[in-house]
A = this chain, B = another copy of it.
Amino acid sequence: MARKVTLGAAQVGAVHRDTPRAEVLARLIRLLEQANDKGVKLLVYPETTLTTFFPRYAGLDEDKAELDKWFEHGDLGSNDNVKPLLDRASQLGIDIVLGYGEKTDDGHYYNTCSYLHRGVEVGKYRKVHLPGNKEPYADPNMIDQLEKRYFEPGDYGFKAFRVPDLASSPDHGEAVVGMMICNDRRWAEAWRCLGLQGVELVCLGYNTSTWAPGLFGHPMDADRAKIQAQSEMQHLLVMQCHSYTNATFSIAAARAGYDDGEFGLIGCSCIVHPEGYILAQSSTMDDELVVAEIDLDEAQVGKRKVFNFGLHRQIHQYKIITEQSGVTAPPRLA
């Protein structure tokens, strides 16, 4: 009994600070149409899909109205910035995962993504691991990364959920799906929380700098090609390793290219197999569709054997993982 399904990652190239939302939306719909041509049933879009990656700009919160332009308020289905995409996805019968800045009714701000199945939100996630800083750098040569300023850490935790009728199998087409956003993928805890819920498919969008002094400690004039290669390597490493060690498929969709012509973001959108190898990967830094047909049942192999958690995990030895957030080093020698 196979559960076959064709998956897609919608990589989105450069989106500038002044790129009109209507233009971005048209590009997202173009990728959706391409996905439909390839038989894709689930298409994952990047983090903050609808705009450029605004946490790099200091001062947005000096004026709340200015800040709010970067966020979506209220129901996505009645939001003109999103509705045409949701409608077309429903029409085509394609599930989508969409990342966006979320402003709640009671005034909280999150870095969020939603899983939309035929227009209905069946899963929602708010980014837990916010990188970067609260305060802008004093040094004008440093690129800011103000996620800790513009967002609160997600309050939903890592909740896997079931998606009906994703795979082709008539009597067992549903899938256990989880979501995370960008930096979360570097944190084994995020993956394990989903793994402990039997996740078969992890969906992730990201904006990852090719060089970012605030994140990597490199000056602006460092060797960009080398930093880009290292960022790409590390991205693939965490996607492959954590997919393997949790016996899950994963889809990673990048915002890639040079925003505003100067802020570089890696590509490397990919679809990964539960044994840890890459099934498909983007080859450009532009808008690009990445597609792979998979059999969800292959996620069960690792779950029964090497990563049979119930047989092998020794939770009494892991206590410090949930007891302390920071480091406690062994005492210095005399």
Tell me, in angstroms, the Cα distance from A315 to B322 when the chains sit together. Answer: 5
A174 vs B333: C-alpha distance when bound (angstroms): 8
Within 8 A of B (CB), among A280-334: 301, 303-307, 309-315, 317-333
Complex: A324 Cα to B313 Cα, angstroms: 9
Report the minimal beta-carbon distance from A82 to chain B, rounded to whole angstroms: 25
Name the residue on B nearest A275 (C-beta).
Answer: B230
A54 contacts the other chain (CB 8 A): no
Q: Which residues of B contact A76 (CB under 8 A)?
A: none
A34 at the interface (CB under 8 A from B): no
Q: Are B320 and A193 in contact (CB under 8 A)?
A: yes
Q: A241 to B246, alpha carbons, bound, how many Å?
A: 14
* Interface mask (A177-194 → B, CB under 8 Å = 1, otherwise 0): 000000100111101110
Tell me whether B276 and A237 are in contact (CB under 8 A): yes
Q: Which residue of B lies closest to A191 (CB)?
A: B188
Interchain CB contact under 8 A, A322 and B318: yes
Chain B: CB-nearest residue to A155: B317
**Copies of this chain in its oligomeric complex:** 2
> CA A215 – CA B306 in complex, angstroms?
6
B329 in contact with A245 (CB, 8 Å): no
> Which residues of B have CB within 8 Å of A131?
306, 312
B330 touches A310 (CB 8 A): no
Interface residues of A in 147-188 (CB under 8 A from B): 153-154, 157-162, 164, 174, 176, 183, 186-188
User: With A277-B233, A317-B157 known to touch, is A197 a contact of B245 (CB < 8 Å)?
Assistant: no
Q: Please tell me if A46 contacts chain B, counting CB pairs below 8 Å.
A: no
Residue from B157, B197, B238, B328 in contact with A244 in the complex, judged by beta carbons closer than 8 Å = B238
Interface size on A, residues (CB 8 A): 73
Q: Are B238 and A321 in contact (CB under 8 A)?
A: no
Task: Closest B residue to A214 by CB, please name it.
Answer: B305
Q: Do the beta carbons of A198 and B318 come within 8 Å of each other?
A: no
Q: Does A240 contact B (CB under 8 A)?
A: yes
Whether A197 touches B328, Cβ cut-off 8 Å, given contacts A129-B314, A244-B238, A312-B129, is yes
Do A320 and B196 contact each other (CB < 8 Å), given the known contacts A216-B305, A234-B244, A241-B237? yes
Q: Which residues of B contact A198 (CB under 8 A)?
A: 327-330
Answer whether residue A217 sits at the interface, using C-beta atoms and an 8 A cutoff: yes
Determine if A153 and B217 form an interchain contact, defined as CB atoms under 8 angstroms apart: no
Most chain B C-beta atoms within 10 Å of own C-beta, residue among A157, A233, A317, A324: A317
Residue pair A186, B276 in contact (C-beta under 8 Å): no
A binding-site residues for B, Cβ under 8 Å: 128-131, 153-154, 157-162, 164, 174, 176, 183, 186-189, 191-193, 195-198, 215-217, 230, 233-234, 237-238, 240-242, 244-245, 275-277, 301, 303-307, 309-315, 317-333
Q: Kindly list the 4 A-B residue pairs having the minimum CB-CB distance in the complex, ordered from nearest.
A: A310-B326, A241-B241, A188-B188, A198-B329
What are 28 residue pairs bridging A and B, where the CB atoms are less than 8 Å apart in the complex?
A: A129-B312, A129-B313, A162-B331, A164-B333, A176-B330, A186-B245, A188-B192, A188-B242, A189-B313, A189-B321, A192-B321, A193-B320, A193-B321, A196-B327, A197-B320, A197-B329, A198-B327, A215-B305, A217-B301, A230-B275, A240-B241, A241-B242, A309-B327, A313-B326, A315-B322, A315-B323, A321-B321, A321-B322
